[in-house]
Amino acid sequence: MSLYKVGGDMMEDDWEFASSSNPNRTLVLVGRTGNGKSATGNSILGKKTFKSKASSRGVTSTSELRRVIQEDGQIINVIDTPAEFIGKEIVRCITLAEGGIHAVLLVFTVRGRPTDEEQSVLYHLQTLFGSKISDYMIIVFTGGDDLEDNDETLEDYLGQECPEFLKEILELCDNRMVLFDNKTTNKRKKAEQVQKLLSLVDSVARKNNGKPFTDELFHELQEEAIKLRDQKKEVESLKGYSKSEISEFKKQIEISYDRQLSRITEMVETKLKETAKRLEKQLGEEQAARLEAEERANEVQKRSSDEIKKLRENLERAERETKELQRKLGKCINL
Ligand SMILES: Nc1nc2c(ncn2[C@@H]2O[C@H](COP(=O)(O)OP(=O)(O)OP(=O)(O)O)[C@@H](O)[C@H]2O)c(=O)[nH]1
Q: How high is the pLDDT of residue 55?
A: 61
35 touches ligand 1 (CB under 6 Å): yes
Mean pLDDT, contiguous 10-residue spans, the chain (335 residues): 33 38 81 92 93 67 88 90 80 86 94 82 84 94 95 90 86 95 96 96 93 89 88 87 88 91 88 81 86 90 87 91 84 65
Is any ligand 1 atom within 6 A of the Cβ of residue 54?
A: yes
pLDDT at 332: 67
CA angle centred on 47, ends 194 and 86, rounded to 5°:
80
239 lines ligand 1 (CB under 6 A): no
Ligand 1 proximity of 41 Cβ (cutoff 6 Å): no
pLDDT for the residue numbered 1: 30
Residue 145 C-alpha to ligand 1 middle, in angstroms? 12
Name the closest-CA residue to atom 8, ligand 1.
36
Q: How far is the CA of 243 from the centre of ligand 1 (A)?
A: 48
Q: Alpha-carbon distance 148 to 117, whole Å?
A: 27
4-211 CATH: 3.40.50.300
Residue 139: strand pairing partners: 106, 177
ipTM, 2 decimals? 0.97
Predicted local confidence at residue 178, as pLDDT: 97
